[in-house]
Structure 1
Amino acid sequence: MNPTAGKGRAAYAGEGVLAGLRRAGHDVVDLTGADADAALARARAAVDGTVGPGTSHGPVDALVVVGGDGMVHLGAQAVAGTDVPLGIVPVGTGNDFAATLGLPVRDPAAAGAALCRALEAGAAGRRAVDAALVTGPGLAGGPRWVAGAVSGGLDAAVNARANLLRHPRGSARYTVAAALELVRYRPWSYRLTFDGVDDRPAADGSATLRLRPGPAGAATWTGRAALVTAANGPQIGGGIRVAPAASLDDGLLDVLVATDLSRAGAVAVFPSMFTGGHVRRRKVHVVRARAVTIEPGPDAWVAGERPLPVAHADGERLGTLPLRVEARARALQVLVEPR
């Protein structure tokens, strides 16, 4: 659990989840660490079968995280690409991935009960969903798994600013961070390389981005953009519908590119992102592809240019560009109560 998530609610909720799982007859170990790195190390050891109740017979049967999207991100690093499912008790600030799955949000008792029912259901209580694998020289610690979305533009700058703010709490923090970042916003220069582009018309009504064919079926786009987001799921930032048509199980990323918006245009677009209406604006495009490489464009090194934002994912800092984001179909098992 992340004891600081949800204004401290996660610590209280975590104790309740531990007690509830034990009452249901499960053998449970608390893997909470002194910090995120320690918690991840313990989670990976439990999934590998080298610590915890599963040590006598291999890996644990499930890993449960209590917190927000940051804890989902941590859990994904331990279980993605394995057969160990991830259970989620969402009591954080954003909870976007849990909301997309239809889990009870900010109701730890209901989420804990649903978790027990999912475990009792066996295979029927599991759902295989996609995850994105991110690679690049700017990543500390090597490749990273992402459950929700990778942000590399204004949305990343807003995420970084929001993480520095102490007030207000909750999703309003992202609104304040956006207002602060828009004051100094100018579009950045990018080069995007897409692999496995889906040429079918966009279901969300977004405009087509003009791509240049490249070798081995790749396609590229070079230009200035306000937003560059490679989304596995539809929402970020506590309900911002950044890619409203994105699906967790189609094996594709929805890559949002808002091209060359003026400051006034960016200000106008931001409120419509809470409903998903921004994708119908003329300069907002969605490319559905298996993978995308996001890197600085040719003008990124011109004197006077602002540095490109540091990429973020699931609310967490990733690293500097360039980055490659690739959808991995059914890479993540999650515990979901059978309907």
Structure 2
Amino acid sequence: MVVNPTAGKGRAAHAGTGVLAGLRRAGHDVVDLSGPDAAVALARARAAVDGTGGTHGPAAPVDALVVVGGDGMVHLGAQAVAGTDVPLGIVPVGTGNDFAATLGLPVRDPAAAGAALCRALDAGPAGRRPVDAALATGPGLDGGPRWVAGAVSAGLDAAVNARANQLRHPRGSARYTVAAALELARYRPWSYRLTFDGVADHDADHDAGAGTALRLRPGPAGTATWTGRAALVTAANGPQIGGGIRVAPAASLDDGLLDVLVATDLSKAGAVAVFPRMFTGGHVRRRKVHLVRARAVTVEPGPDAWAAGERPLPVAHADGERLGPLPLRVEVRAHALRVLVEPC
């Protein structure tokens, strides 16, 4: 088990103690892998998953990895278990908890989440749900390739995420509201080039007459490209980010596709109008907001990105964590992640 002691305004530390005790009372052998920082905790988690735990972990591979915290801890856990048979258990007590909410887990109720976790473990294979994960790669990514549970943001939402991470006040979800106001005040659309692989459909969620579809240009080997200015570029594995922002309302965790949101060339007034609608999913019906379902997308700076007077492109974020600068590729890997969810 790995606990983020700062998640949920410090609630995770207390929650972790309770969950650890509850798992042990239920007869499970639990090793606390929490470390002084995320890098140490991840190293310990990876060692526990592959059975080289050393002084801080078991000498044999663990049966499951449990994380206590928010989406950042889910992101950490995914780095250790994605692509393996070891399932990920989640006790969601962070600020956002978007991935856990999508799974239907008890959010901000550690006692209920711990009890559900025990029931999932007791259910054996029936308590392990396979879901998709995305793999982000690129020359500038921090720490190399990264697994993503929820979404990769590379536009205005990434800029808001970065600003929120810099703010000390206010605490909790209100920090994102303040960060959004600050970023919208200086917003201008950025120049992008997007290359899609395995396009299944696009603009499927638009109402009739909402606007023209995103104009994709066919490329080699079944690819398709789009070049232009955009406010939002988000490759979503799940439907929500940022503590309830319904960025891709129809996205599914197990369809083998990414829902790529592209909000094209919005004015500042347009961006201000679209952003609050993202909490309900109503933004997908706006004329300049498009959804492309594809197996993978490569996000690069567009031809005008380096022109004089251009603002730097936002640094990409995933699951609320910094990834690194563009370019990057995001590719879905079907059923790469197993999560502990009690059977219905």
Decide whether the 8 Å contact of 2:70 with 2:96 is kept in 1.
yes
Letter in 2 for 1:100: T
Output the CA distance in 1 between the equivalents of 2:177 and 2:125: 40
Closer, same or farther: CA 140–200 of 1 in aligned 2, 3 Å = closer
Closer, same or farther: CA 121–74 of 1 in aligned 2, 3 Å = same
Decide whether the 8 Å contact of 1:27 with 1:53 is kept in 2.
no
Q: Give 3-state SS (helix, strand or coil) of 1:26's partner.
A: coil
Output the CA distance in 2 between the equivalents of 1:126 and 1:265: 43
Output the CA distance in 1 between the equivalents of 2:219 and 2:245: 33
Output the CA distance in 1 between the equivalents of 2:128 and 2:331: 23
Which residue in the other structure is 1:93 paired with? 95
Closer, same or farther: CA 204–9 of 1 in aligned 2, 3 Å = farther
Decide whether the 8 Å contact of 2:203 with 2:290 is kept in 1.
no
Letter in 1 for 2:68: V
Output the CA distance in 1 between the equivalents of 2:319 and 2:204: 24
Matches within 5 A, 1:1-339: 1-51=3-53, 54-55=58-59, 58-199=60-201, 202-203=204-205, 205=207, 208-339=213-344
Q: Give 3-state SS (helix, strand or coil) of 1:197's partner.
A: coil
**What is the CA deviation profile of residues 133-176 of structure 1, one whole-angstrom value per residue up to 9, with x for unaligned ones?**
00000112110000000000000000001111122222221111
**What is the CA deviation profile of residues 47-85 of structure 1, one whole-angstrom value per residue up to 9, with x for unaligned ones?**
001116642xx3100000000000000000000000000
Letter in 2 for 1:71: M
Decide whether the 8 Å contact of 1:5 with 1:92 is kept in 2.
yes
**What is the CA deviation profile of residues 263-299 of structure 1, one whole-angstrom value per residue up to 9, with x for unaligned ones?**
0000000110000000000000000000000000000
Output the CA distance in 1 between the equivalents of 2:269 and 2:243: 24
Output the CA distance in 2 between the equivalents of 1:251 and 1:213: 22
Output the CA distance in 1 between the equivalents of 2:173 and 2:264: 26
Which stretch shows the higher mean deviation, 1-10 or 192-201?
Answer: 192-201
What residue ranges of structure 2 are gaps of 5+ in the alignment? none
Decide whether the 8 Å contact of 1:204 with 1:245 is kept in 2.
no
Output the CA distance in 1 between the equivalents of 2:334 and 2:307: 39
Closer, same or farther: CA 74–204 of 1 in aligned 2, 3 Å = farther
TM normalised by structure 1 equals 0.98
Q: Give 3-state SS (helix, strand or coil) of 1:181's partner.
A: helix
Output the CA distance in 2 between the equivalents of 1:168 and 1:233: 27
Output the CA distance in 2 between the equivalents of 1:164 and 1:217: 41
Closer, same or farther: CA 36–19 of 1 in aligned 2, 3 Å = same
Decide whether the 8 Å contact of 2:205 with 2:284 is kept in 1.
no
What residue ranges of structure 1 are gaps of 5+ in the alignment? none
TM normalised by structure 2 equals 0.96
Output the CA distance in 1 between the equivalents of 2:135 and 2:105: 24
Closer, same or farther: CA 4–222 of 1 in aligned 2, 3 Å = same
Output the CA distance in 2 between the equivalents of 1:254 and 1:321: 19
Letter in 1 for 2:305: A
Q: Give 3-state SS (helix, strand or coil) of 1:6's partner.
A: helix
Closer, same or farther: CA 82–238 of 1 in aligned 2, 3 Å = same
Letter in 2 for 1:277: G
Identity of aligned residues (%): 88
Output the CA distance in 2 between the equivalents of 1:53 and 1:220: 47
Which stretch shows the higher mean deviation, 206-215 or 297-306?
Answer: 206-215
**CA-CA distance at 1:200 after TM superposition:** 6.7
Output the CA distance in 1 between the equivalents of 2:160 and 2:75: 19
Decide whether the 8 Å contact of 1:54 with 1:61 is kept in 2.
no
RMSD: 1.1
**CA-CA distance at 1:199 after TM superposition:** 2.7
Letter in 2 for 1:41: A
Q: Give 3-state SS (helix, strand or coil) of 2:297's partner.
A: strand
Closer, same or farther: CA 204–27 of 1 in aligned 2, 3 Å = farther
